[in-house]
Amino acid sequence: MSSKIYEVLQWASSFFREHGKEATAAEWLLRHHLQMTRAQLFASLREPIDETSKRTFIADVKKHALEHIPIQYLIGYEQFYGRTFIVNEHVLIPRPETEELVAHVLARTTEQPLRLVDVGTGSGAIAITLALERPTWQVYGIDIAVRSLEVAKQNAEKLGAHVHWLEGDLLKPIIEKGITVDIVVSNPPYIPSHEISTLSPVVQKEPLRALVGGEDGLLFYRRLMEQLPHVVTSQALIAFEIGHGQGRAVQAMLQHAFPSARVDVMCDINGKERIVIADLASE
């Protein structure tokens, strides 16, 4: 006897709860497998589920609950700034906090033609979003990992964004090309290495090179401070995402590198320090 959709959904929700996962993820995953909107799913709850969909859904439920594979990797996408981005195990999953970083950059700039670089671009979420929101800008996205850049290029093509992709370590590729930029934006790895074991098993499935920022989490900010003076214009904007409790340290680094700049630390929607922005135009 075939199962009803609601029965499979109830089982998955309970299975996730038993294994310390978000029960609501069951609906998200089931909608993907049935290719249904939320309204369609709820209208079909008492319909039978076909055996193939049921089998593949159950397999993915177990991968998430038992192997800790992120739902986004199982379904292959995540939403960011109102757009759908391809994600896989080679890139960090875009997060709502990073949308706030993008929003701050947009709020402090205009449509005038500018040159921007996104350092450690990963899926390309930041670079592509800014390229689409500011079509007059010339946007560069840099990543050290070739496989990450492959994902970013797929996203740019799918979303119709024009971004110059460069492979290399932090700002080195544009330094070598002699390119200067008006905006530097980055969500670098910022989790202290000793804290990785305390993260949820699901987060630990994301690329560690995109998470770990050295012993104190500040390694990449220090390295960027050495490179920034070689690439920024005199009126530049530098915008970083940061981890918990890192605001003052990153602010001090930027203030030391650019003594006359205005450097602000801002909190995210949850009241946590999340963004540091240096405005060199106030020099």
- pLDDT tens digit at each of 283 positions of the chain: 689 999 999 999 999 999 999 999 999 999 999 999 999 999 999 999 999 999 999 999 999 999 999 999 999 999 999 999 999 999 999 999 999 999 999 999 988 999 999 999 999 999 999 999 999 999 999 999 999 999 999 999 999 999 999 999 999 999 999 999 999 999 999 999 999 999 999 999 999 989 999 999 999 999 999 999 999 999 999 999 999 899 999 999 999 999 999 999 999 999 999 999 999 986 5
Residue 155 sits in the same domain as residue 254: yes
Rounded to 5°, angle at Cα 98 from 246 and 179? 85
Q: What is the CATH number of the domain that holds 123?
A: 3.40.50.150
User: Domain for residue 73, yes or no?
Assistant: no
- Nearest-10 Cα torsion for 235, 231, 184, 167: 160
User: Domain for residue 256, yes or no?
Assistant: yes
Q: How far lies 180's CA from each of 116, 248, 255, in Å?
A: 9, 27, 20
pLDDT of residue 2: 80
d(CA 79, CA 87): 10
**Domain that includes residue 134, residue range:** 90-282
Residue 193 sits in the same domain as residue 227: yes
pLDDT of residue 1: 62
Q: How far lies 221's CA from each of 72, 164, 181, 184, in Å?
A: 28, 23, 18, 12
260 is in an annotated binding site: no
188 is in an annotated binding site: yes
Place of tokens 């006359």: 260
How many CB atoms neighbour CB 168 within 10 A? 15
Output DSSP code: residue 47.
S
Residue 240's φ and ψ, nearest 5 degrees, are -120, 145
94 is in an annotated binding site: no
215-268 pLDDT, tens digit each: 999 999 999 999 999 999 999 999 999 998 999 999 999 999 999 999 999 999
Q: 226 by DSSP, 3-state: which?
A: helix
Q: Is the whole-model pTM more than 0.85?
A: yes
Reduced DSSP (H G I as helix, E B as strand, rest coil) percent helix, strand, coil of the chain, to 5:
45, 20, 35
Output DSSP code: residue 197.
G
Which tokens hold the place of 266?
A: 């801002």
121 is in an annotated binding site: yes
221 is in an annotated binding site: no
d(CA 66, CA 157): 34
Residue 120's φ and ψ, nearest 5 degrees, are 80, 55
d(CA 158, CA 217): 33
pLDDT of residue 215: 92
189 is in an annotated binding site: yes
160 is in an annotated binding site: no
pLDDT of residue 281: 86
pLDDT of residue 78: 97
User: Domain for residue 76, yes or no?
Assistant: no
135 is in an annotated binding site: no
Expressed in angstroms, the distance from the first to the final Cα of the chain is 73
User: Domain for residue 235, yes or no?
Assistant: yes
User: Domain for residue 278, yes or no?
Assistant: yes
Residue 22 sits in the same domain as residue 104: no
